[in-house]
Amino acid sequence: MGAAYFYHLTRRPLQETLPVLLQKARAAGWRIVVRGQMADRMNWLDDCLWQGSADSFLAHGQAGGPHDALQPILLTTAAESANAPDCLMTVDGAWVTPEEVQGLQRVCILFDGTDQTAVETARGQWKNLTAAGCSAQYWSEESGRWEKKAEA
C-alpha cells in the first residue's frame, strides 16, 4: 500500500519543484503519471520539462500519443494512465482516490500555497484520503528547505 505526500509550494514554483520530484521518482525506478485538470496547463508543463538542462533531461510524453504505454513519465488530464505507473503526481487540484493511493507506491499532491482555492482543495483531499485509511504526509518548504510537518 502506498502513501500520499502533500507538497505545499510556497517558495519555488511548480515548474521548479516538479522536475526535482520526477527525478527522485525515476531514480527509484518508478514510472510516473502527472495528472492535471487542463490540457493547456499540461502543454505548459510539457514545454517546461523539455527546457530543462541536458544533464537532467526527463524523458516524457503527453497522453494521446502512439507510445503512451512506453513513457516513463506521462502527462495527462485523464484518470486512467496507459503507462502502468508506480507513482502519481497531481497538480492544479486534480483529484486522487483512496484506491489510487493504495494501489501505487506513492502519490504526490503538489499545490500552490499562494492560492487559497488550491490550499482548500488539498485540505479536502487530505481529509478524504486519511478518513479512508490512507497514509499521508504533509511537506512544507516554508523554512527554505522541505520539512515534514504532519503525518497521518
* pTM summary value: 0.94
CATH architecture of the domain with residue range 3-151: 3-Layer(aba) Sandwich (3.40)
According to the model, what pLDDT value does residue 12 have?
Answer: 94
pLDDT confidence tier of residue 50, bands split at 50, 70 and 90: confident
Strands (E), the chain: 3-9, 32-35, 61-62, 73-76, 87-90, 106-112, 135-140, 147-151
Percent of the chain with pLDDT strictly greater than 70 = 97
